[in-house]
Amino acid sequence: LLGVSGLIVFGIVQLDDVTRIIRASGATFALLFGGMVVARTLGPTGIFEFLGDFYLRKTGGSGKRLLLGLVMLVAPLCVFLPNATTVLLLAPVVVRVCRVLEIDVVPPLILTAVISNSAGLLTLVGDPATFLVGSSINMTFVQYLYRVAPGGLMILLVVVSLLPWIMKDVWNKKFVLPADLKPRSLQHVALAALALGVLLLMILLFLFGDGLPVPIAPAAASIVACSLALLVIQGMAVEPVGDVLRDIDWKTMVFLACMFILVEAFTKTGLLHKFGGLLSQSFGSNLVAAAWFCLEE
């Protein structure tokens, strides 16, 4: 934010540029905002704690099942919901499981972050970066599943295959589950049913929205689901709508907006064009080598 302020003060980026950039990135922000609201609507139902308790009991005291179960818990949620929000909602659950089993919370939390990022590659809406790239070339949700999702699946498989080595201490460990461990129940069953219905509708619109008589893009589907989720919260009167909006991950939204403006500054000053020219001179048509260079840098 300070960097963007500096660019505006020194005249590198004008306020008109900022407005234009935010308007051009509206689909990305709509997708994120809608997904965050839907995920936050599930919070009061206790469904994440319910899943965490089910996950804890299914580990059976096995470190191997603990790590594999964490992958199975995190990956499906991060496929359709914003990674940052999902991790924030799941982190307390992971911490509770680790404390019950009396193990270090750091490795499971790191694994949660890695899996959330990897699972975000499985769909067009799983991560802001994938949505930006996919939407810029007019790739639909289903096209992304065919062309890019297999790469994300390969990354997940690689991460899982490395777990016995990179988290060997947890993988080989045996735990004793507490004898008084009781299954948790959902706190608001009706709200949970309606919120899950909204989530299911959003997923269906992601999959089939482009084929409707009036096409519904992923960003529009996210806003539709967001509106329904807020109506559910208002109608069920479990908590004020303002509390839901307050808990949205605004820091991520501001961060992304600032990053878009910084990229525009690089483009406007010609630095991005010069960097592209240097890559072209250095690597020619070898796109694989150029991609590896960018990743390493």
Which tens digits make up the pLDDT trace of 231-274?
999 998 888 999 999 988 888 888 888 888 888 888 888 887 78
Contacts of 104 (CB under 8 A, 6+ apart): 98
Please determine, for residue 19, whether its predicted confidence score (pLDDT) is greater than 90: no
Residue 221 lies in a domain: yes
Count: domains in the chain: 1
Give me the pLDDT at residue 296, please: 62
What does the pLDDT average to over 111-122?
Answer: 89
Q: What is the CA radius of gyration of the chain?
A: 22
Angle at 192 between CA 93 and CA 89, to 5 degrees: 25
Please report the DSSP string for 26-57 in residue order: HHHHHHHHHHHHHHHHHGGGTHHHHHHHHHHH
Give me the pLDDT at residue 245, please: 92
Which tens digits make up the pLDDT trace of 66-107?
899 999 988 888 888 887 778 888 888 888 888 888 888 888
Residue 10 lies in a domain: no
Min mean pLDDT across 27-31, 103-107, 232-236, 280-284 is at 280-284
What does the pLDDT average to over 195-217?
Answer: 90
Residue 208 lies in a domain: yes
Range of the domain at 126: 26-249
**Residues 194, 232: contact at Cβ < 8 Å?**
yes
What does the pLDDT average to over 211-232?
Answer: 92
Residue 13 lies in a domain: no
Give, as one character, the DSSP assignment of residue 187: S
Banded model confidence at residue 297, pLDDT cuts 50, 70, 90: low
Residue 282 lies in a domain: no
Banded model confidence at residue 22, pLDDT cuts 50, 70, 90: confident
Residue 119 lies in a domain: yes
If one compares 215 and 286, the residue with the highest pLDDT of the two is 215
Residue 223 lies in a domain: yes
If one compares 219 and 186, the residue with the highest pLDDT of the two is 219
What does the pLDDT average to over 45-55?
Answer: 85
pTM for this entry = 0.82
At 295, list the tokens: 């990743």
**Residues 223, 28: contact at Cβ < 8 Å?**
no
Percent share of the chain, pLDDT over 70: 97
Residue 52 lies in a domain: yes
Give me the pLDDT at residue 102, please: 81
Which tens digits make up the pLDDT trace of 136-157?
788 888 888 888 889 889 989 9
> 36: closest CA among 260, 187, 256, 247?
247
